[in-house]
Amino acid sequence: MPVWDIARRPPAEQFAMWHDVICRAFVPLTPTRTASDARGFPARVETRELGAVNRARIDSQPQLTVHGPREVARSDGEYVFVNLQVHGRCHVRHRVGSDEVDAVVAPGQFVVLDTTEPYHLRFDEPWRMLSFRVPHRGLGGRPRPALLGRAVDGGSGTGHVVATLVQSLWRMDDHAGAQPAAPGSGALDDLERSFAAAVAALLGTPGEEPGHDALRAAVLRHVAANLGDPGLSVAAVARRFAVSPRTLHAAFAEHDTTFAAAVRTMRLQRCSRALRDPAETATVTAIAARFGYLDPSAFSRAFRREYGIAPRDLRRS
């Protein structure tokens, strides 16, 4: 997981290093300072791989960054970037075919950029974004132009699924107790495909509900991060992802399971892991409540059905 902490370099060297880092980490780019009185250029880039998808978190300063015709010609691959704005605003100008698209991307919104076309990104204040790079081949081909270069709301419809996946897939390496998926593992491949499917659905059918695989992956990430919430119901989660309960049920039915069964399995797995941990000092009841089981008797029955042993007996073993 490469990390470039440019603020650690002498101020006079920081901007040149920034230029080098963004070209190495992303695609050919040419940045220009827009704050003439700035002495240094403190910035930070952290990248993480997810199969063919490159994930990055970027913190930087006011600037104009250009991926123009010369940079396009020097690029060694065909990608889209999904850039989720976290802090600050990004002013985008993207050439899409014979047209130019202008947009302002605010926090909570994202923009999709096609590296085979020129674009300019202007930042007038310090900023942070999560940026995921996806090969065209992962989308099934060249993206359709409908949403390229436009600000997409991360709070509804397919845009919400994509934005939630970006945040969840970035944080998954930091999840307490989580083990990173090994390269080439089925879990990693599923996550990579789910993200690419969500982006393809966004670009191919704007305004429609997300594909079931992408929705299911996003919902499972949300559930994993909120197992202690006793209100993890179909209705609540469907509202959270701006889909109908019927669509949510269908996403799980395609995998021969139900939403409720998936939540129950994940809760029991986390409880089992905690009960087996010799460093865990909480009571069985407290562990059950931590992962959403507020009724000790119901937890004990569900645990015994799943594992063939009572929770207290497992802990003593």
The secondary structure of 78-91 as a DSSP string is -EEEEEEEEES-EE
Q: Give me the pLDDT at residue 181, please.
A: 47
Q: Give me the pLDDT at residue 193, please.
A: 78
Neighbouring residues of 239: CB distance < 8 A, sequence distance ≥ 6: none
> Which fold, 264-316?
Arc Repressor Mutant, subunit A (1.10.10)
Q: Give me the pLDDT at residue 6, please.
A: 95
Tens of pLDDT along 161-180? 889 889 989 988 765 444 44
Q: Give me the pLDDT at residue 161, please.
A: 86
- The C-alpha angle with vertex 110 and arms to 248 and 159, in degrees rounded to 5, equals 20
- What would be the CATH architecture of the domain defined by 1-153? Sandwich (2.60)
Closest among 153, 222, 225 to 234, alpha carbons compared: 222
What residue ranges of the chain are covered by domains with CATH 2.60.120.10? Answer: 1-153
What residue ranges of the chain are covered by domains with CATH 1.10.10.60? Answer: 264-316
Q: Give me the pLDDT at residue 184, please.
A: 47
Residues of the chain under the 50 pLDDT cut: 176-185, 205-209
Global model pTM greater than 0.75: no
Cα–Cα distance measured from residue 268 to residue 274, given in angstroms and rounded to the nearest whole number: 10
DSSP H stretches of helix in the chain: 11-25, 69-74, 157-171, 186-204, 212-225, 234-240, 245-253, 259-276, 284-290, 296-307, 311-316
Q: Give me the pLDDT at residue 71, please.
A: 95
Q: Give me the pLDDT at residue 188, please.
A: 62
Q: Which two tokens stand for residue 314?
A: 């497992």
Q: Give me the pLDDT at residue 189, please.
A: 67
